[in-house]
Structure 1
Amino acid sequence: MTDGTQRQEMWRQYILGELSPGKRDELDQWLAEDETALEEYLVVFESMEHPIGDLPDIYAFTDRVMNALPVNDSSVNQPLQLHRKWAWIKHPITHYTIAASITLLLITSGFFDRLEQNADHLWSGDNGSISEQWLSRTTSWLDSWNRSDK
């Protein structure tokens, strides 16, 4: 047997799962590191007619898998109940309602009126950059707002 034929046989055994776990791990590493090894593997894989094999009875296989699944596992149902319990939080109407409530609260408290009064002073005069003016006016407004709440 030539070296190329031995390699093809090795890859055929790898594909069919006929190698020892140690040899299989060695070939896994070789495939990950060497591109020519990957090309050899693909050539052998494509040349094999049905390397994995067909299921003789697909319906029997499906039935075996479904019967192996747990029927009444409480841990499976619990996340669904939590999801249903908190599903309203993800609904867009909830977000719009919360945003509208906050806006209404700010409007009725006079938040925007105070903000507008202090913002008018920013545009009068040329004493520094606009960002510095905004910063000083905002901090003074917050200080006055904190003092009025006490």
Structure 2
Amino acid sequence: MCYSDEKAVPLFNSDNCHGDTFYYSTTERVKQAIDFWNYSYNNRHFVRWTVILNDTNEKIGTIEMFHRLAEDEFNHYGILRIDLQSNFESMAIINEILEIANENFFKAFEVKAILTKAITKATKRIASLVQNGYKPVNRKVMNYDDYYVRFAEQ
């Protein structure tokens, strides 16, 4: 599971998550997180899906998406979080996720742009983002760095 993968955790976007680093070492903690994700879905805060490899049905991570409402320049932008096991942090898998997001999430979430985070050492993720039309924001988003953006018009 990606949330007990110490190599994967630094690549997760835990910005604005009240100190949760998404490193879970017990089944109970994972269940608590899933309960919160279900609550958030039921209350229309965000959607979190399991990422499953089609060939093997192996669960390799999750993605999250939501429509951000805020009184700043990023109002009505979507936030996409991609959490993958470290051994699946590859351009091929990230490209597939971004293809789905680019084709469906602008309309489904009624957003004008999608923001996603990729820290400097996430070189495969950054390469996938650039290949899929995302550009560095080059300024803080909610006081955080390392965001990339793609606009719906592309």
Q: Same fold (TM over 0.5)?
A: no
Q: Under TM normalisation by the shorter chain, which class is it?
A: under 0.3
Normalising by structure 2, report the TM-score.
0.21
Structure whose residues are more often helix by fraction: 1
> What TM-score results when the alignment is normalised by the length of structure 1?
0.21
